[in-house]
């Protein structure tokens, strides 16, 4: 059965799917940010016992060193690098958009303070995506999605830098304490 859709709608749907995929990646990464903070939004930290480097420290003295976890771990910031979509389709007929009706408003509509002008009618091409090459299943599509690591945002980098500056020795123990 032939299923035709406009090429414009197909391209918009594919672009929308890519945008949605990037949004899901970002939402997934944001959901894990809370893992580094407690229920009162204080940064979680680890306490490490280290030989003391304080002036006048004895042989067995130890420093308790507190380090926030977030700057210690690798933050995997991913983004979609590129997308390649291949499919076979037959070109359908050239369709003319319907002329604007007499009921349509002449003045541009207001959308979030921006003026939106009505689009003039224009022709568009329909494609039949149910047609595949003879050696492939009908409607087969080949999608390649590549992601790459990227630098953390300025806000995330500043937060991690500030947290890194708060780490340090907060108490020294002498043997037998």
Going by C-alpha positions, the residue among 82, 85, 88, 83 that lies closest to residue 142 is 85
pTM assigned to the model = 0.57
Rounded to an integer, what distance in angstroms lies between the CA atom of residue 177 and that of residue 169?
Answer: 17
Residue 146 — φ and ψ, nearest 5°?
-110, 135
DSSP 116-142: EPPPPP-EEEEEETT---TTS-TT-EE
Residues 86-126: tens digit of each pLDDT = 877 777 777 776 555 555 555 555 556 667 677 666 666 67
Other CB atoms closer than 10 Å to residue 71's CB: what's the count? 19
Q: Please report where in the chains the tokens 């003039």 appear, as a residue.
A: 120
């Amino acid at each position: 059965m032939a299923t035709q859709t406009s090429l414009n709608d197909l391209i918009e749907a594919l672009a929308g799917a890519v945008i949605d995929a990037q949004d899901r990646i970002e939402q997934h990464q944001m959901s894990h940010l809370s893992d580094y903070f407690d229920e009162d939004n204080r940064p979680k930290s680890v306490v490490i016992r280290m030989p003391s480097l304080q002036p006048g420290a004895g042989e067995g003295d130890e420093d308790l060193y507190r380090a926030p976890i977030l700057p210690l771990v690798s933050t995997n910031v991913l983004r979609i690098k590129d997308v390649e979509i291949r499919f076979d389709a037959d070109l359908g007929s050239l369709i003319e958009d319907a002329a604007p009706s007499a009921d349509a408003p002449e003045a541009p509509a207001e959308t979030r303070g921006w003026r939106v002008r009505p689009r003039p009618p224009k022709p568009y091409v329909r494609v039949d995506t149910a047609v595949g090459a003879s050696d492939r299943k009908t409607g087969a599509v080949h999608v390649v999605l590549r992601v790459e690591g990227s630098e953390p945002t300025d806000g995330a980098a500043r937060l991690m830098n500030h947290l890194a500056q708060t780490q340090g020795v907060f108490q020294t123990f002498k043997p037998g304490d």
